Amino acid sequence: MSLKNRISSFQYAFQGLLDLFQSQANARIHGIIAILVVSAGFIFQISRLEWISVICCIALVLSLEALNTAIEYLTNLVSPGYHPLAGKVKDVAAAAVLISAVAAVLVGLIIFLPKIFSCFSVLALDPTHF
């Protein structure tokens, strides 16, 4: 448990993160959406609790995308040829990402839709407001 080993473990984790975004189009899409949502959070000045929800959703989706990628790599290693169970493993791992992404969208709608509607209602009442 030396400091050198701890630093190396972080280097490996960052290498995995780099590989995730370089090799997985869906991870890049999730990353871009995360940047847009964080930007919207600053624009709409969301509350502390809303920030916590947004950060947890982003972390969950990206973490599950990373786990899905790891499961795909491992499945391809142990089952290089087609096998129905290998396909099921990949499908279920992808389903975990999908479930988290749908939940994140719902959280985002709950947080941002009222703020967006509020902007439109203010604009409709006073077009010179902005």
Domains, the chain, ranges and CATH?
Answer: 3-125 (1.10.287.3610)
At position 11, the amino acid (one-letter code) is Q
Catalytic residue (choose from 65, 93, 108, 112):
65
* 45 phi-psi bin (left φ>0, alpha ψ -120 to 50, beta other): left
26-38 pLDDT tens trace: 999 999 999 999 9
Confidence bin at 130 (pLDDT 50/70/90)? low
Q: Is 72 a catalytic residue?
A: no
Place of tokens 């509607």: 117
pLDDT digits (tens, 9 = 90+) for 47-71: 999 999 999 999 999 999 999 999 9
Distance CA 54, CA 41 (A): 8
Asked whether 100 and 60 are in contact (CB, 8 A), the reply is: yes
Prediction pTM value: 0.88
